[in-house]
């Protein structure tokens, strides 16, 4: 009883945060592959909201306010959005307020399958782009070239054709890749320059960072959370996510949103 009460208390700490989540996790991606046109570019990544779960409407309001202040150039959503279909429209409407106007990309997670059609409707309604096995070539504002934003539809997909398709972009363009599950990126040797993933919740419960009972990845702690490198050299950021799945509790694994700033080396 005492342990359960302590875990519930810690899981509620996000309500004390001015951000609506436990933390804003910041990374700087410095690499020679970053095009001059993306130097200083800011990406916001949000995944696993499971709205509302512990991520209440009040916390959503705080998060949107914080990310609007951050003014990202790109907003990426990594899947597992709601706990019930009635929450879909209000969630995507709120997230659409973050901006930017065009650079808003979405992939679906494993929990989104039962609400897929409604989520797709909300994605279209609020001007997000769905990355369901697609790659979008985006032109720099100065017209000097293009970069690629790509993502997969199903977190457990065995899509070797899409992996092969991605090879066309490996050398010629800077590639940003989103997968709900980090295992997809490693399993298919996706050679993006920078990849984003969720699904693991960072374990959601960890005994002071030493032992994590549930990992939701085939690779143990390797891609459980944070910035890591795949076998073929792709930098991948796996977020702890925002909401909770199954049990509404977090312990030593704070909820988070990710902000990445690109820097040319």
What's the whole-model pTM score? 0.90
Among 63, 92, 88, residue whose Cα is nearest residue 77? 92
How high is the pLDDT of residue 73? 95
Q: What are phi and psi of 185, to 5 degrees?
A: -65, -45
Three-class secondary structure of residue 93 per DSSP? helix
Query: HEC string of 104-117?
Result: EEECCCHHHHHHHH
Fold of 2-264: Purple Acid Phosphatase; chain A, domain 2 (3.60.21)
Dihedral of the alpha carbons of 12, 18, 23, 28, in degrees to the nearest 10: 170
pLDDT level of residue 53 (50, 70, 90 thresholds)? confident
How high is the pLDDT of residue 1? 42
Residue-wise pLDDT tens digits, 148-182: 999 987 655 556 767 777 776 656 789 999 999 99
Buried b (16+ CB within 10 A) or exposed e, 22-44: bebbebebeeeebbebbeebbbb
**Strand 235-238 to strand 226-229: parallel, antiparallel, or no bridges (unpaired)?**
antiparallel
Residue-wise pLDDT tens digits, 11-45: 444 545 788 898 999 999 999 999 999 999 999 99
């Amino acid at each position: 009883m005492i342990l359960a009460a302590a875990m519930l208390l810690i899981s509620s700490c996000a309500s004390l945060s001015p951000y609506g989540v436990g933390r804003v996790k910041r990374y700087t991606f410095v690499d020679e592959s970053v095009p001059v046109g993306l130097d200083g570019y800011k990406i916001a990544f949000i995944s696993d909201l499971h709205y509302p779960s512990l991520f209440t409407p009040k916390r959503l309001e705080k998060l949107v306010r914080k990310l609007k202040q951050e003014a990202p150039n790109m907003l990426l959503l990594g899947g597992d959005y709601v706990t019930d279909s009635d929450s879909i429209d209000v969630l995507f409407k709120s997230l659409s307020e973050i901006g930017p106007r065009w650079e808003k990309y979405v992939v679906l997670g494993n929990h989104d399958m039962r609400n897929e059609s409604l989520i797709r409707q909300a994605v279209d309604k609020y001007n997000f782009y769905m990355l369901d096995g697609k790659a979008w070539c985006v032109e720099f504002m100065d017209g000097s070239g293009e970069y690629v934003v790509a993502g997969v539809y199903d977190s457990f997909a065995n899509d070797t054709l899409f992996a092969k398709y991605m090879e066309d972009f490996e050398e010629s363009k800077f590639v940003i890749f989103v997968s709900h599950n980090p295992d997809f990126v490693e399993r298919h040797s996706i050679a993006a320059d920078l990849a984003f993933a969720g699904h693991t919740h960072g374990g959601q419960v960890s005994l002071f960072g030493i032992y994590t009972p549930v990992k939701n990845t085939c690779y143990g702690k390797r891609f459980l959370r944070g910035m890591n490198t795949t076998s073929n050299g792709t930098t991948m950021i796996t977020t702890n996510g925002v909401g909770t799945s199954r049990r509404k509790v977090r312990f030593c694994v704070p909820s988070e949103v990710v902000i990445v700033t690109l820097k040319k080396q």
